[in-house]
A and B are shown apart, each in its own frame.
Chain A
């Protein structure tokens, strides 16, 4: 274990560790076969900076308007001692509770260190779970921990855990609108997956029966700022998440397969400029195998680099296209089989026949 942490630290180099959050864990499960992402995340590499350094900056910055709106909405929902949130939860969960306490876990006496915060969160949450007479309480921004691919990651908290009658509910406040009881399906799916990460982390800490599989999603209603709460069942997401996390290749074996001296250190000089030549970093990155898919463009900082690296591969055209092309690795191979220039392998006979038919028919009409 220490050896692994040492290796990971070496891969990261001198830069500060980049923390995981629910979003990154959720993204990890969307492409679990990607060793590059698994190693970079486990090592806490700042992928944004790395991508910039090798000349393929990520393109998903966040607009300050979105951030402002998100923060304003969250503050509004939590205002006056969580009054609005309590009203919503009473309605949504059918509770009779009149009063509710709150514990802010954002820092511990001004100390925002992860270990300290996690220790305090753990202590507060476990003692509440153990006490059958504990009063209903909001736990704001607890710092949770999750084991991802054999490596402990802290989840930058963005949630409220609501404890009542011996059960915890995860409350997720999001600023996308629910219009006529309908919301953007992709955003709801993303929120559900993120919440599932929190539910999982809480369950690993407290036990399965202590944390509800229904999370409460709080969003603005229609075009207003009025909050509306919806129960979302995340059992499906939990199963997927559990499954994906358990089959994530153990980081240890991934790291062992890499050259021992491999590092992605950008070697900042005294002025904070990165002195390591980009070509060297690219060569190092090449040692860690990636599995690019167009979906990465929206979730991974390294995507534009990986896309360039994968150019000419059928994977860059999307999963369904790749399948239609018989799942062969490169475009050249697919076209070669289609034209009959390449001789197919034993297991490719069917694929090759299909490609030849397509090529013949398409060619006869398009010419």
Chain B
């Protein structure tokens, strides 16, 4: 939570509806995302109970496990899910471009789940299926291990800041709107959407309150409502269990389960598409496409890997892989934060409040200023003075950038504070063309409104790690590649 989003939450309480904290959409939204609403049986590690999945709001595909404790039925669920997911993955590989020597698919899978617990479910389902084998003891249908690899891949990818490969809807919405409730309550998709887009004539707090009634809005999963478990689900599963296979009684039991579980998932299914519609109303931020390209690249790479090597991901990362991963996650996080602020003045507001960025008016410009560089050459270094009312907590010497002039470095040479505000003197470098005098428009002019920030992607540097095969002995030497063992495949899934 930043000062801005906290203030926006206070505004939301007063206004009775959510307040936008972004003017742009900072995630990519596929034209046909794969929406996935899973339900799991309470008390088990990862026992799928039912799911709705599909790329069109009008055509959800429903999966069901009538007795979630039954191993074969669980695999049946995984096999049916594999058909849907793998067909979707295949459909993303129809067209590609060639970049350098790499083949880059023009599309990539995007999985949308209701909440953070849904992300966890997908990761665990990936973990529980990727080591399975299609031969030997406990064989599984062909698609299951491959499904496990893809779900694991999406799960890992989703941890990368800025990735849109798999999104939890509540997190995505919270990144764009501040509701008048706490983060705990924001984890409820129905309540959060109630604040953001309440029904006609209802205020956000009322809509959110109504959304907490599990009879009206069943939980968005994967956990089900305990009362539903006890009063509806348990008797229905018992009825299924006690009926002989292929009997009319069992068919009826399955029908009951299907009807009841559909009733639990359908509201969430509708909410998911409602949320997608709400998000589409926001124009995409400028760098969304770049980040989606990174997702596409990662997808293409993993697709190639599966067709050449195809071993499942290790149970746990080795030390070297973990260090590498952590470093890239940190770098992506800072880059993502910076890019978001550059794309969106409302996100930039957070940095202005903390004094890491400021917005103001250009009060004077020394456009054709030339100085002697360290190497003794005459170089163009215009000076501009910006007056601002924002708090400026930046040291002299700090390098800044303006979002519209991202290639042009602006170094603070002087900060003068007075009762009316702050005057910041900046020396500009770069982005002015090759001539002795700066190209037209390349230097801000007096009266221009301009923002300068100390947070921008170029400012982020981290040391490179040595190549994996040159890991020094101090760090255990080059790690041996992971080879899945028979133990991994044999483990009970009950």
Contacts and interface: CB of A to CB of B under 8 A. Distances in A.
Contact of B43 (A67, A338, A362): A67
Contact of A61 (B14, B45, B226): B226
A84 interface: no
Interface in B183-234: 183-185, 205, 212, 214, 224, 226-227, 229-230, 233-234
A332 B23 CA distance: 26
Contact of A180 (B23, B127, B390): B127
B8 interface: yes
A116 interface: no
Nearest to A72: B43
A98 to B, nearest CB: 28
B101 to A, nearest CB: 36
B54 interface: no
A16 interface: no
A63 B212 contact: no
A154 B242 CA distance: 42
A360 B494 CA distance: 58
Contacts of B391: 357
A63 B182 contact: no
A294 B185 contact: yes
Contacts of B45: 176-177, 179, 220, 222-223
A62 B228 CA distance: 11
A21 B10 CA distance: 37
B346 A317 contact: no
Contacts of B214: 59
A313 B14 CA distance: 11
A334 interface: yes
Contact of A294 (B11, B43, B184, B494): B184
Interface in B68-125: 124
Contacts of B234: 64-65
Contact of A365 (B43, B233, B345, B492): B345
A220 B491 CA distance: 13
A314 interface: yes
B494 A224 contact: yes
A226 interface: yes
Contact of A358 (B7, B44, B124, B491): B7
A127 to B, nearest CB: 38
B380 interface: no
Contacts of B183: 294, 318
Interface string A290-311: 0000110110000000000001
A80 interface: no
A321 B1 contact: yes
Contact of B10 (A59, A64, A66, A335): A335
Given A223-B128, A362-B349, A324 B2 contact: yes
A182 B124 CA distance: 12
Interface in A222-261: 222-226
Size class of A's contact patch? Answer: 35 or more
A225 B494 contact: yes
Contacts of A335: 10-11, 14
Interface residues of B, number: 56
Contacts, number: 146
Contacts of A223: 45-46, 128, 491-494
Contacts of A68: 43
A27 interface: no
Contacts of B181: 316-317
B6 interface: yes
Contacts of B493: 223-224
A269 to B, nearest CB: 27
B41 interface: yes
Given A224-B492, A354-B3, A298 B43 contact: no
Nearest to B44: A69
A187 B28 CA distance: 34
B188 to A, nearest CB: 10
B4 A298 contact: no
Given A177-B45, A180-B316, A320-B1, A62 B10 contact: no
B165 to A, nearest CB: 22
Given A175-B43, A357-B353, A362 B494 contact: no
A364 B43 CA distance: 50
A66 B42 contact: yes
B6 A320 contact: yes
B180 to A, nearest CB: 8
A324 B223 CA distance: 32
B176 interface: no
A60 B234 CA distance: 18
Contacts of A65: 41-44, 229, 233-234
B17 interface: no
Given A294-B182, A317-B13, A63 B43 contact: yes
Contacts of B41: 65
A297 B205 CA distance: 17
B401 interface: no
A362 B8 contact: yes
A355 interface: yes
Nearest to B7: A358
B131 to A, nearest CB: 10
Given A324-B1, A324-B7, 5 more contacts: A69-B43, A318-B184, A321-B10, A331-B14, A334-B10
Interface of B: 1-4, 6-11, 13-14, 19-20, 23, 41-46, 124, 127-128, 180-185, 205, 212, 214, 224, 226-227, 229-230, 233-234, 315-316, 345-346, 348-349, 352-353, 359, 389-391, 491-494
Interface of A: 59-70, 175-177, 179-182, 220, 222-226, 294-295, 297-298, 311-312, 314, 316-318, 320-321, 324-325, 331-332, 334-335, 338, 354-355, 357-362, 364-366
